[in-house]
Amino acid sequence: MKASTTGFIHELTFDDLPDDVVEQGKLCLLDLFGVAMMGRRTDFSRIASDHAVEFFAAGRLRSRLLFDGRHASPIGAGLAGAMTIDSCDGHDGHAETKGHVGVTVIAALLALADLQRDMSGHEFLTCLALGYEVGTRAGIALHASACDYHTSGAWNALAAAALAARRLGLDANQTREALGIAEYHGPRSQMMRCVDHPTMVRDGSGWGCMAGLSAGFLAQQGFTGAPAITVEQEASRAYWNDLGERWRIMEQYFKPQPVCRWAHPAIDAAQRLRQDHSFTIGEIRAVRIQTFHNAIRLDHPEPRTTEVSQYSLPFPVAVALKHGAVTLDALQGAGLEDPEVLRVSRLIRAEEHPGFNAQFPQQRYASVTVELNDGRRFDSGPTQALGDPDLPFGAAALRDKFRRFAETACDTQHARALESRVDNLADSGETVAPLLELVLDTIRVMPVER
C-alpha cells in the first residue's frame, strides 16, 4: 500500500499489515503494558493521574485512566497514561528519533478506544501500527530539520493526532489541520536539559499525547493549524514516501532495563563481566566506562529520586555490578540508599570514545573495564545494547520481561489474563472491550519499599 499521509491514516486496513508487523504490534503492546504496570508504582504516575482527574475532568466524553479505573476527559486520560508509561523508562524507542513513540500511541489509542468499546481487535492493531508509522517518521523529520534536540512529545504528538483523526472520522482537510495543530502545539522542550537536570518533566510524551488528542478534537470543530512542516515541507517528504512499504514499527528497540537507553550498552557490558568473572561488588576498586557523548551527560552518581536514577549512567551500572540486573525497585525508594551501589557509582569514571560518538545515534556502544582489589582487570570490549533491531531481544525474552514487570506490580493471574487478551487481538471477531477491562480498571499495585 502506498498513499498520501492523510490517505494512509484513513485507508490503512488490517489486511494491509504484513504478518510480522501484526506480531510486532502485539509485542510492542504487551511490552508497554508491562512498563505501565510498573510505572503505576511511581510518584510521577500518581501525581499525573490525580492531576488528570482533577483538572481534566470528564465531561460528555469520558475515558478511564490506564490501570487506574478513574475517569477523565479522553485528553486527560491520554496525558496521564503517557506519563505513567514515561515514569518507568523501560519502553520501546527508535534510534533515529532518539526517543519514543509507543508511549504516546498506546495512551492515545486507549483513551479513544474507551469511547468506542466496540472497536475490533483488528482495528486496534491497525491503529497501533498507524501510530508507530506516523510518529516515527515525524520524529526523524523533526531531528533532520530542527537545530535543537527536542523531547519525544515534540513529534509523537502527530501520532496521537493521526489516531484521533482516524477514530473521529475527520476528512482529509481536517486531518491535515489536526497534524498541523499537533506539531505547532507539541512541546518543543529541550531533551538535554532534562538529561542534565532530571525531573518529572521527562521526555514530554504526556504533553505530546495531550497536544495530539486535543488537535484532533479541535480540528473536528473547525480549528485550523496546517501545515505540519515535518510532513509537508519539501525536505521532509522523503521520510513519508514509503508509507505502507517500509514499516518503521519493525525498527523499534526494546529495553531490558528501565533506564535511559544511552546507559544500556554500559549496563550490558557490566552484566557480562560480572557473569563471566563471578566477582562481587565488594571486590571492585575501579570502573572505567568509554561511551558516546550523550551517555556521558548522564552524570548522576548519587541520585536522590527515581527520575535522576533512570537518567544516570554510573548508578544503574553499579546496580548491575551488584545484582546482575537493574529493576525499578533498585532505582527508587530504599534502593537509592544502598551503600555498596553508591560506593561503586561514585568511583566510576566515564569518558568519551570518538568511534562510539561517530556511530551515534544509529548505534550505541560502550566498553567497561573493572579493576578488582587484588589487581585483576577485566575489559568488556565494545558492547552494543541488547534489544536493538540488529541485536534483537526476541519474542520469548520480551514476554519474560512483561511477566517480570507485570508480576512485580500486580498479581500473576491478572498479568497472564492480559497476555492472553493481547495474543487474541488478531482473532477474527475479537473486540477490544475485554482488553480494556484489564488495562483501564483499577489494579492493586504492590508498594515500593521506602
3-state helix, strand, coil in the chain (%, to 5): 55, 10, 35
Name the residue among 383, 422, 407 with its Cα closest to residue 327.
Answer: 407
Cell (9 digits) for 291 = 561511551
* In a shared domain, residues 135 and 282: no
Whether 375 and 399 map to the same domain: the answer is: no
pTM: 0.96
Domain assignment present for residue 404? The answer is: yes
Co-location of 180 and 62 in the same domain: yes
Clarify whether residues 269 and 362 are in a common domain.
yes
Task: For residue 447, tell me if it sits in a domain.
Answer: no
CA distances from residue 322 to 35, 271, 279 in whole angstroms, order as listed: 23, 9, 9
Residues 6+ apart with CB under 8 A from 376: 277
Integer Cα distance of 430 and 374 in angstroms: 62
Distance of alpha carbon 159 from alpha carbon 190, whole angstroms: 20
Residues 368 and 403 in one domain: no
pLDDT at 449: 62
* Domain residue limits at 72: 5-255+393-440
Does 14 share its domain with 152?
Answer: yes
C-alpha cell read off for 87: 515514569
CB atoms inside a 10 Å sphere around CB 46: 16
8 A C-beta contact, residue 158 and residue 228 = yes
What 437-440 contacts at long range (C-beta under 8 Å, 24+ apart), as own/partner pairs, is 438/414, 439/33, 439/36, 439/66, 439/67, 439/110, 440/63, 440/64, 440/65, 440/66, 440/67, 440/68, 440/69, 440/110, 440/114
Position 226 scores a pLDDT of: 83
> Given the C-alpha cell 519525544, which residue does it identify?
152
Q: Write out residues in the chain with pLDDT < 50, as ranges.
A: 1
Alpha helices in 73-204 (DSSP H): 74-86, 102-113, 121-145, 153-167, 172-185, 191-196
pLDDT at 98: 94
Distances (CA, A) of 179 to 28, 124, 189, 246, 335: 24, 20, 18, 21, 42
C-alpha–C-alpha distance, residues 283 and 181, integer Å:
56
What contacts 337, CB < 8 A, 6 or more positions away? none
Given 337, 353, 384, the domain boundary residue is 384
Whether 25 and 96 share a structural domain: yes
Clarify whether residues 118 and 201 are in a common domain: yes
Phi, psi of 350 (to 5 degrees): -115, 145
Residue 411's pLDDT is 84
Q: 396-419: string of b/e by CB count within 10 Å (b at 16+)?
A: eebbebbbbbbbbbbeeebbeebb
Half-sphere exposure in the Cβ direction for 46 (13 Å, CA): 6
Nearest to 127 by CA among 28, 242, 206: 28
Q: Residue 336 corresponds to which amino acid?
A: L
The full DSSP string for 379-446 is E--SEEPTTSTTS---HHHHHHHHHHHHHHHS-HHHHHHHHHHHHHTTSTT-BSHHHHHHHHS--PPP
pLDDT at residue 1 in the model: 43
> Residue 82 falls within a domain, yes or no?
yes
Q: Considering its fold, how many domains does the chain have in total? A: 2
Residues 336 and 435 in one domain: no
Same domain for 163 and 210, yes or no, is: yes
CA distance 159 to 69: 24
pLDDT computed for residue 409 by the predictor: 84
448 within domain boundaries: no
In a domain, residue 288? The reply is yes
Q: What is the pLDDT of residues 328-352, one digit of tens each?
A: 999 999 999 999 999 999 999 999 9
DSSP single-letter state for residue 253: B
Let me know whether 246 and 316 are in one domain.
no
State the Cα–Cα distance between residues 174 and 177, nearest whole angstrom: 5
pLDDT score, position 450:
60
How far is 250 from 308, CA to CA, in rounded Å? 30
Rounded Cα distance between 98 and 447, Å, is 32
pLDDT digit string, tens, across residues 207-239? 999 999 999 999 999 999 989 999 999 999 999
Q: How far is the C-alpha of 350 from the C-alpha of 432, rounded, in Å?
A: 47
Same domain, 370 and 413: no
Tell how far CA 88 is from the center of its chain. 9
